[in-house]
Amino acid sequence: MDIPDVPERGPLFIHGWSHAAIGQSTPSAGEINTLTVSLRSFGVLPASSTITMHGLRDTLTYAPLLVLSHNETVYPSPIGPMGVWNHSAGSLSVNLTSQLPSQQTFSFSFTVRNPYLGQDGAEVSIEVAGLISKVKMLSAQKNEAALLVADFLQRDIAQVCINVLPGDVLQLWYLSTHMHQYMRFASRTRAHIHERSTHSYTR
């Protein structure tokens, strides 16, 4: 729900966000992931303000600066070309180079590398130094949730019989914790096997 604009000099006026959201491009482990931020404030955010997002944890991105891609909902861009990245703290700070108009939606993107192990989506918060206190951002849902990385809860493989013959069916089941899908695959041997195998394998 959008919050209507109010006069900045009215009684009890307090700067804040009418919209602050973040989403991602991929939940794949170890892949480059584009995070997209969408913001709209009630009250003008002045030039030189510093916007900081927290909770961007467990990435494999260590560079101190990240390239920011401005999505042209506001022109010219109110942010500089780079954001300050703190890997250990899981934070990104962005400086406004010009004021951000009140109730004007503004969007930008940056990339990180996802971790190799699965994890739930991050709880990301945002603040503007000296102006807006830290609040939780809205997160996209399912696979677009920020920094959600897919993984498997269960990994099993089995075959119909111990002796491997042409036409034997190998069955693989897996359960994904984050994609919320249960899949079953069956595969038949393609090459003719002249000798029977009497080996069995256990986990």
Whether the pLDDT of residue 138 is over 50: the answer is yes
pLDDT tens, residue by residue, 71-91: 876 677 888 899 999 999 999
CA distances to 89, 114, 186 from 127, rounded to whole Å, are 15, 24, 50
- Residue among 120, 91, 106 at smallest CA distance from 21: 106
CATH (one of 3.20.20.70, 3.30.413.10, 1.10.2020.10, 2.60.40.290) for 16-144: 2.60.40.290
- What's the confidence (pLDDT) of residue 8? 53
Look up the pTM and report it: 0.74
- Alpha helices, DSSP H only, in 37-116? none
Question: Quick check: 144 and 23 in contact, CB under 8 A?
Answer: yes
In this predicted structure, the answer to whether residue 96 has a pLDDT above a threshold of 60 is yes
Beta bridge partners of 83: 66
Q: Is 112 exposed, middle or buried (0-12, 13-18, 19+ CB in 10 A)?
A: buried
Give the pLDDT of residue 182.
32
Per-residue pLDDT of 108-128, as tens digits, reads: 999 999 999 999 999 999 999
Q: Say which range, 25-39, 126-140, 167-181, has the weakest mean pLDDT.
A: 167-181
Positive or negative CA dihedral for 68, 93, 23, 35?
Answer: positive
Torsion of CA 143, 145, 146, 149, to 10 degrees: -40
Between residues 92 and 203, the one the model is more confident about: 92
* Domain parsing of the chain, residue ranges: 16-144, 151-203
